Structure 1
Amino acid sequence: MGTAGDLASCLAREAEAVCRHYLSAGTRAGQYWVVGDTGNNKGRSLYVRLTGDRAGRWTDAATGQFGDLLDLIRESCGLIDFQDVADEARRYLSLPPAERETSSKTGPTNLPSPAPPSERARRLFAMGQPIDGTLADRYLRQRGILDGARYPALRFHPACYYRDLATGQMTPLPALLAAVTDAVGQLTGLHRTWLDRDGLGKAKVATPRRAIGGLLANAVRLQFPVDGPVPVMTAGEGLESVLSLAHVMPHMPMAAALSVNHLAALSLPPGTRRLYIAADADAAGRHGVDRLSRRAQALGILPLVLAPELGDYNEDLRQLGPERLTARLRDQLVSADAVALLPL
């Protein structure tokens, strides 16, 4: 029972019990356990198979995350090192503790309570450094985003652990970190983009982007005032798409919700009068835009949709250039906003 595969198989045989313990806010629906996310929030985005050959395998439809029950324990408990994940799985399964937990004088030591995902996100973000001159800065520049270093929400981690979901192998890789915050600026989660060590874009791994912590209703916020009202703002789905808009509108408050479902549920600050919604050119993106538009209207906020020429705004920035992107936005913004927020 020493390998990741052994532990995952043992957990899978008790899949429903594991879900009831770590995802108690969920419910059983047929052959699946359904819950909002790995942070144990209510909802139906994350589903765990409870029976058959794929028992214990889960997918979060909102974030694209997936894995086995070891991954679920890692995310729900806010653990960083794989050894800590294995220790927690052993504790749950009532297996003998790993050797490092045992003292010859005192016997097994008590493990500290696992940190919640939001605390894990805060710890990991605190380990990061400003991105200026780092691989993260180089990566964004390759994407046409030349001023990423000016955003406090972005940091660089030179050795952020990536876990291969198929093998369980943990590999330290450089990563771009993006802080997810709530409407009052409190960090609730973290988005990670793992990077190629040679500066050749994203790391060559199966899922180079993952998020942890409390994402629902929250976002990566750029250019928001420290305090005071936000009368006009823009919200979009992808981080790089929103960063591309911020590149040509450096004074517009921006929020990257990181997924279609999270965009639809985004919490809007009080005092907002106009909300520009940056749509991606696909059916899923339009669904998120429609849902957020209806919510904004119910709050007395005027929703206005911004549409890219290509697939998203990062494609527009890279392939069409900032001047053409600016010109297209000038045609879509309210005239007063275009004068105030776009360069002449």
Structure 2
Amino acid sequence: MTAALTDLAFAEWVAQARAVAVLDELGRRSIVLKRAGTEMVGPCPVCGGRDRFGVHLRKGLWHCRGAGLGGDAIALVQYLDGADFLAACETLTGRPPPRGEGTRASAEDLAAREEARRAREAERDRQSERYREDERRRLYRLWGEASPITGTVAEAYLARRGIANPQSRALRFAADLPYWHGETTDAQGRSRRREIHRGPAMLAAITDGDGTFRGLHMTWLDLATAKGKAEIADPDTGELLPAKKMRGSKQGGAIVLLPGGAGPVRRVFAAEGIETLLSVWVALVATGADLLGTAFLCAGDLGNLAGAAAETIAHPTLLQPDKLGRMRRVRVPGPVPDFASRAMPIPPECTELVLLGDGDSEPFLTEMAMVRAQRRHAALGCDVRVVMAPEGLDFNDLLCGRERVVARAGADALQEQGAAA
């Protein structure tokens, strides 16, 4: 094995050890903690006390206030066993170091640990699947309780954006939908999701390639605002939060805004946003375009539209400081698709795909995502075109004539500067 491959195997071995959940390793050792807000707490297994040892539930990290130590699962095994780094990784993975540093355990111990590790992973997978299914059922109940958008705030919202009700079966309206953000602790010390807003919302169903319901895209509305979307602020920081959220499983799914009729779908228009996609639909209808066999699919975001990248690349301009304060290029998903990843599905009979890109998103990230999506679907034999909105605008801006408003505002500003001079 070459040095490069050996180093890669070692890095993967360490990553596997680091991926073990702290609570799983504590459970394997029969160390019991109790819930206290956002933590699980109890006596330290090493130095005692009553509640000095804790595990942060969201971060997944442990700490002991008595010893002043903490960290991930590797640091935990080092602390509990007095082990070095290699021995801790061996305990967590059930495998000896791949670079031949020598094992610290017997073959029987390693086999038992490997079996326990696989059992933990299988149980985590089962728990994750149960959670996803429970969440899907909760969201499906919300979807079932919602109403068609005709005559609702959602219809008025789309009309304000220049979009007449498209009679899309993928859209519904909820009159009083809660907006959850962060956590709060009740009188018993239990952590609860925090509701910071409640109001009307437009719902869109996310389905997989077989049409099975997978999740919801939710847009909270307020017609008193300029664009009709609710302005929701974090009560702690005052920061404005997105008026849109997605819950459930979006990756590998789509919002089928318009399915293309009863026959085979030969052409697809795809975009990340609902308003972008429906704006293009309105424009095409206005020109009398023949849309039979043409579907309009919304991905929800660029990540689902394009899928994951095979590698990251350096952004040409964006910089961020590293741990030593040195400015480094930000690494972003590149143009080569990872074909093993999931992305928005395109009907197999589709021969023409039009990808719609917003001109008001970060240019380089958007360009990489569009190239990635184009390559992904072209590899399946589809003729793929990318159509971008002008810089600084999206297709809804074009539909509403907002580019003329922007140009007029710029001209007025220049005129005022000239007068001041």
CA RMSD in angstroms, aligned pairs only: 3.4
2:230 paired residue among 203, 218, 222: 203
Tell me how far apart the structure 2 counterparts of residues 7 and 77 of structure 1 sit (CA, whole Å): 21
Task: Quote how far apart the aligned CAs of 1:279 are.
Answer: 1.2
Equivalent pair of 2:260/2:296 in contact (CA under 8 Å): no
2:203 paired residue among 170, 177, 187: 177
Task: Quote how far apart the aligned CAs of 1:183 are.
Answer: 2.0
Equivalent pair of 1:236/1:255 in contact (CA under 8 Å): yes
Task: Quote how far apart the aligned CAs of 1:164 are.
Answer: 3.2
Aligned AA for 1:8?
A: T
Return 5+ residue gaps in structure 1 as ranges: 20-27, 32-72, 79-114, 322-344
Matches within 5 A, 1:82-97: none
Aligned AA for 1:13?
A: V
SS of match in other structure, 2:259 = coil
Task: Quote how far apart the aligned CAs of 1:320 are.
Answer: 5.1
Task: Quote how far apart the aligned CAs of 1:15 are.
Answer: 3.2
Q: Which residue of 2 aligns with 1:243?
A: 278
Provide Cα deviations, 1:57-104, integer angstroms capped at 9, x if missing partner. xxxxxxxxxxxxxxxx9xx946xxxxxxxxxxxxxxxxxxxxxxxxxx
Tell me how far apart the structure 1 counterparts of residues 74 and 225 of structure 2 sit (CA, whole Å): 46
Q: Which residue of 1 aligns with 2:333?
A: none
1:15 aligns with 2:57: yes
Task: Quote how far apart the aligned CAs of 1:16 are.
Answer: 7.4
Provide Cα deviations, 1:110-167, integer angstroms capped at 9, x if missing partner. xxxxx5322222111111101111111111111111224x111110000111113376
Aligned AA for 2:200?
A: P
Tell me how far apart the structure 2 counterparts of residues 145 and 308 of structure 1 sit (CA, whole Å): 17
Provide Cα deviations, 1:266-312, integer angstroms capped at 9, x if missing partner. 21111111100101223222222111111111101010111213521
Equivalent pair of 2:256/2:296 in contact (CA under 8 Å): yes
Q: Which residue of 2 aligns with 1:339?
A: none
Tell me how far apart the structure 2 counterparts of residues 314 and 10 of structure 1 sit (CA, whole Å): 48
1:134 aligns with 2:164: no
Tell me how far apart the structure 2 counterparts of residues 147 and 290 of structure 1 sit (CA, whole Å): 32
Q: Which residue of 2 aligns with 1:152?
A: 169
Q: Which residue of 2 aligns with 1:303?
A: 384
Aligned AA for 1:117?
A: E
Larger Rg: 2
TM-score by length of 2: 0.49
Aligned AA for 1:151?
A: S
1:189 paired residue among 201, 207, 215: 215
1:117 aligns with 2:199: no
Equivalent pair of 2:283/2:399 in contact (CA under 8 Å): no
Return 5+ residue gaps in structure 2 as ranges: 1-34, 42-53, 62-71, 76-126, 185-192, 233-240, 286-290, 307-342, 404-421
1:315 aligns with 2:397: yes
> Cα 1:294–1:164, aligned 2, differ >3 Å: closer, same or farther?
same
> Cα 1:197–1:233, aligned 2, differ >3 Å: closer, same or farther?
closer
1:222 paired residue among 232, 251, 257: 257
> Cα 1:226–1:212, aligned 2, differ >3 Å: closer, same or farther?
farther
Moved over 6 A (4+): 16-19, 28-31
TM-score by length of 1: 0.59
Tell me how far apart the structure 2 counterparts of residues 184 and 249 of structure 1 sit (CA, whole Å): 27
> Cα 1:13–1:146, aligned 2, differ >3 Å: closer, same or farther?
same
Equivalent pair of 2:38/2:57 in contact (CA under 8 Å): no
Equivalent pair of 2:39/2:56 in contact (CA under 8 Å): no
Tell me how far apart the structure 2 counterparts of residues 157 and 276 of structure 1 sit (CA, whole Å): 31
Aligned AA for 1:288?
A: A
Tell me how far apart the structure 2 counterparts of residues 268 and 29 of structure 1 sit (CA, whole Å): 41
Equivalent pair of 2:199/2:221 in contact (CA under 8 Å): yes
Task: Quote how far apart the aligned CAs of 1:225 are.
Answer: 3.8
Q: Which residue of 1 aligns with 2:104?
A: none
1:258 aligns with 2:300: yes
Aligned AA for 1:123?
A: R
Q: Which residue of 1 aligns with 2:268?
A: 233
Tell me how far apart the structure 1 counterparts of residues 297 and 136 of structure 2 sit (CA, whole Å): 19
Task: Quote how far apart the aligned CAs of 1:226 are.
Answer: 5.9
Q: Which residue of 2 aligns with 1:333?
A: none
Tell me the matched-pair count: 232
